[in-house]
Amino acid sequence: MRPIVVPGVPMTPLTLLAAGGHEPPLVDIDGTVFVQLGIFLLLLIVLTRFVFKPYLALRAERSTRIEGAKEEAQGLATDADTKLARYEEQILKTRKEAAATRLELRKEGESTASGKLAEARSSADAKLEAARQKLGKSADAAQLALRARADVIARSIAGKLLGREV
């Protein structure tokens, strides 16, 4: 039975069902389904070969390179940490050696200075003692000379005071 078409009334699925008709099918299965399936399979093969496989290979290579770069960076960081630790250890060792050398040189300098100071003191003491002995001898000689002249000077003074020779 054919549905009755009324001019001015739209044909909706509800009006079709009310009129006792059936709604037309969404997909007609006929010979074009096989053509469409063939086109789909052909496109699937072509796209898989020329698009999907290269794209997936590129992503896999990129992922491999990124992981390799991360591992290399981690290895370099570990190597840098090891070298930094060795460098700091060498600096500490060198500083300790330098401090020990400074201390040794300071002690050596102080002992040399104290030795030279002691030598200078003994030399100064010896010169002072020699000067004292020389001065003592000179003083003794001057005393003897003054005693000898003291009598002469005393007589001369007494003669002048008394007005005559003594």
> What CA–CA distance (Å, rounded) separates 37 from 43?
10
Residues contacting 2, CB < 8 A, separation 6+: 21
**Would residue 72 count as lying in a domain?**
yes
pLDDT-based confidence at residue 154 (cuts at 50, 70, 90): confident
CA 156 to chain centre: 97
Place of tokens 């399936």: 37
Residues 26 and 9 sit within 8 Å (Cβ to Cβ)? no
> What CA–CA distance (Å, rounded) separates 142 from 147?
8
What pLDDT is stored for residue 11 in this prediction? 61
CA 25 to chain centre: 79
**Would residue 13 count as lying in a domain?**
no
**Would residue 8 count as lying in a domain?**
no
- Does this model's pTM top 0.85? My answer is no
**Would residue 25 count as lying in a domain?**
no
**Would residue 1 count as lying in a domain?**
no
Structure tokens at 40: 């789909």
**Would residue 82 count as lying in a domain?**
yes
> What CA–CA distance (Å, rounded) separates 117 from 125?
12
Higher-scoring residue by pLDDT: 165, 105: 105
**Would residue 2 count as lying in a domain?**
no
**Whether the predicted pLDDT of 20 surpasses 70:** no
Instruction: Look at the chain and report how many structural domains it folds into.
Output: 1
The angle formed by the CA atoms of residues 137, 139 and 143, to the nearest 5 degrees, is: 115
The angle formed by the CA atoms of residues 91, 97 and 102, to the nearest 5 degrees, is: 125
Structure tokens at 128: 């002072």
Q: Which domain holds residue 155?
A: 36-162
Cα torsion through 64, 66, 67, 69, rounded to 10: 120
Higher-scoring residue by pLDDT: 59, 136: 59
What pLDDT is stored for residue 5 in this prediction? 61
Q: How many residues does the chain have?
A: 166
**Would residue 73 count as lying in a domain?**
yes
